[in-house]
A = this chain, B = another copy of it.
Amino acid sequence: MQNAQIEVRVRYVETDRMGVAHHTHYFSWMEAARTELMRQGGLPYKNLEERGYTLPVREAYCRYRKGLKYDENVIIHAEFLEIAEARLKVGYKIYRKKDKELAAEGYTVHPFIDNSGKIVKTPDFFKKLFSAPSP
């Protein structure tokens, strides 16, 4: 299945008084990597929303291993772990760029929701696009 990665720098606003990036921001970075994952697969998330679907977050998990400092370059890698009838699961690995140390890893789980707010099966066009191996 497909994967993608993005790079961010830790913003000052993202640090806390421990001097490292606050743990909540890792989830925002994962989300940005998920956006990139969908774009690279050929279906930007905003297009999916325009087609009447949303992928709200049902579960979110992160395990933190290393602190990330202000202005450090960070790599976030995202990949589909599961594209099932009833849910998607996306996995993430977050690396400190300079030494490739794994700083955190996590996952999110998403149902497919249609216009009327109901959970629906993962559409076929989605499965076709994203279940193929990464080029």
Where the two chains meet, the residues of A that have a C-beta atom closer than 8 Å to any C-beta of B are: 9, 11-13, 15-20, 22-25, 27-28, 31-32, 35, 39, 44-46, 54, 56-64, 67, 69-71
Q: A28-B24, A71-B45 are in contact. Are A63 and B54 (CB under 8 A)?
A: no
For residue A113, which residue of chain B has the nearest CB? B18
Name A12's contact: one of B19, B31, B64 (CB within 8 Å).
Answer: B31
Q: How far is the CB of A111 from chain B (nearest CB, A)?
A: 10
Interface contact A17-B59, CB-CB below 8 Å: no
In the assembly, what is the distance between CA of A124 and CA of B70, in Å? 25
Of the listed residues A16, A31, A35, the one surrounded by the most CB atoms of chain B closer than 10 A to its CB is: A16
Q: How far is the CA of A16 from the CA of B14 in the complex (A)?
A: 7
Report how many copies the assembly holds: 4
Query: Which among B15, B18, B63, B71 is the interface contact of A59 at CB below 8 angstroms?
Result: B63
A–B pairs, 12, beta carbons within 8 Å = A11-B28, A12-B22, A16-B16, A17-B70, A24-B27, A24-B31, A39-B71, A45-B70, A46-B70, A58-B63, A59-B64, A60-B64
